[in-house]
Every structure is written in structure tokens, then in C-alpha cells.
Amino acid sequence: MTGEPTRRVSQNFNAVDSALDSIRGFSDEERETVVEFLKVGRARVVAGGEGTTAVTVLGDRGFTWPEFDRWQRIFAASGTFPARWKGLHDVPSSWTSAAATTAYRLRKLDLLLEWLDTLRRGATALQHYTRQGIRARIVQQGDGLRCAVCESFNGREVSQGSDFKPPIHPGCRCVLLAMTEATLDEPIEPRTRHRVRSPL
């Protein structure tokens, strides 16, 4: 069911709208809390009373997130998980302790909020570059953390309406960067090359 929070997000960010529509297990009020995270920033929002974050409020929800499940299978089959998946390699079973299950759900929810925020920022940056007539490409952050899934997409141009869509998986740390005339033909070396960043 698509609620009012989702409709508001869809006015500007179709990627986030689609992502929220694919998730089940939140009430309309809880979906509103998720949207509030995106609107004012994950670190600042407070829900459910003073000192209680939205992560605490939603942390005990056994929500269904198909994209998470799909990527968990992909990473498990490859034997390698991205750094942001720490604590999420194994799905809790019926004999997993309640404390461990809660910790897993909290970590999964945090990854969900991070992923939605990544989709929002990427869509906003691409819209900005498109309006300015600036070409842009997807680049892995040069922090030494590898992701085998994203390496093959590193440096590829991204534009609205094109067939090429970078995966932007849960836990993805790729960023969208402007392409300047001086760097259009340079190889991608995130640690050393000067880049023009998204204004966000």
C-alpha cells in the first residue's frame, strides 16, 4: 500500500519511492518516520519521545526488504560482503537469541535508512547535473574499502534516461561526480585525481 509519505517522496525522488514501495512491515506512521529521516537527516530526527531515535522505534520490526535479501544471496554466494554489511552476513534462525535477533534487525534497519538516503542523494545530484548540462559518472570512494560488485562500474558515465544504471546496492559507497573537460579521458584513480563533487 502506498501511503502519503511515499507520495511526497515520489514528487522528487522516484528511486526512493520505488524502494519504499517494495518494503513491507511498516505501518503508515512508521513509514512517515522513515521519510522524516530523509527530510531532516538521519542523525537529527527524534521520534517516539525525547531521546528515542527512529532506529529505536522501528528496530523491532521484522520488515521485508526484497532488495536486501537479493544482495545478501549475491554476497553470500561470492563469499565476500561489503564493509557496511558487518553483522548482517547470516540471517537469524529460530534458535538465535532474542538479543542477537534484535541487534540484527537494528543493523538491518540502519542499513535500510542509509540506502534510502544514498538513493535520495544520488537522484538529487543527477537532477542537479542534468539541469546544469554537466556530465557525471559513478566513482568508488577512494578509502581503500573494496567492493567487487562496484569495481566494474567505476568511472562509467551516468545520465538520466540512459540504459546504464549502477547497482547502488545496500551498503554501496559509490558517489556521483561531475566530469570536467580536463578529466574526461583520464583513468579513474579516486585517491589522486581532482574531482568536482556533488553540492550535497
Q: In b/e form, how buried is each residue of 72-88, taking b as 16+ CB within 10 angstroms? A: beebeeeeebbebbeeb
C-alpha cell at 134: 554537466
DSSP string, 79-117: T---GGGTT-SS---TTS-HHHHHHHHHHHHHHHHHHHH
Query: What per-residue confidence (pLDDT) applies to 10?
Result: 45
Query: What per-residue confidence (pLDDT) applies to 89?
Result: 93
177 forms bridges with which residues in the sheet?
137, 197
The band of 182, judged by pLDDT with boundaries at 50, 70 and 90, is low
Judged by DSSP in three states, 121 sits in helix
Q: What DSSP designation does 11 have?
A: T
Distance, in Å, from the CA atom of 194 to the CA atom of 168, rounded to the nearest integer, reads 23
DSSP string, 132-186: HT--EEEE--SSS---HHHHTTTT-EE-TT-S------TT---EEEE--GGGTTS
- Tell me the pLDDT tens digit for each residue of 64-116: 899 999 999 999 998 888 888 999 999 888 899 988 988 898 889 889 988 98
pLDDT of 172 strictly over 70 = yes
- Tell me the pLDDT tens digit for each residue of 144-164: 667 778 888 888 998 887 878
CB 43 within 8 A of CB 78: no
Distance, in Å, from the CA atom of 38 to the CA atom of 110, rounded to the nearest integer, reads 13
The band of 46, judged by pLDDT with boundaries at 50, 70 and 90, is very low
pLDDT of 15 strictly over 60 = yes
pTM passes above 0.85: no
